[in-house]
């Protein structure tokens, strides 16, 4: 499998590394190169900033809210799964919600 290179740009302190770490697939680790400096990934729950520590929970709440809204309005949602954008229609969301699975 070839390595993926993704560029995330922004000013110092904007949260580029924290963002990148939080979206790394679960169970995977990686090395981020910031200019010439290499940084090992850490779990976002270990962030010093309390807001950053809570950001994953906030994203999960937002995702759940999007699912509920999509079901109520009979519209689909788009997620990223295995590096690809996937549209999930409302009827599939209803099925996964009823069975307790995550879409």
Q: What pLDDT is attached to residue 73? A: 93
SS3 content of the chain, % helix, strand, coil (to 5): 45, 15, 40
Give the pLDDT confidence of 3-48 residue by residue, as tens digits. Answer: 666 667 777 777 777 777 676 665 555 655 555 555 566 677 777 8
Rounded Cα gap, residues 96 and 90, in angstroms = 10
Place of tokens 């950001």: 55
Rounded Cα gap, residues 31 and 39, in angstroms = 6
What are the distances in angstroms from CA 65 to CA 61, 68, 81? 6, 5, 19
Where residue 84 falls among pLDDT bands split at 50, 70, 90?
A: confident
């Amino acid at each position: 499998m070839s390595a993926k290179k993704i560029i995330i740009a922004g000013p110092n302190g904007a949260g580029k590394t924290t963002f990148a770490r939080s979206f790394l697939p679960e169970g995977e680790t990686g090395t981020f190169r910031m200019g010439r400096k290499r940084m090992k990934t850490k779990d976002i729950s270990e962030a010093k900033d309390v807001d950053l520590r809570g950001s994953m929970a906030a994203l999960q709440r937002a995702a759940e809210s999007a699912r509920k809204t999509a079901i109520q309005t009979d519209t689909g949602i788009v997620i990223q799964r295995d590096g690809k954008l996937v549209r999930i229609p409302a009827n599939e969301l209803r099925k996964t919600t009823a069975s307790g699975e995550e879409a």
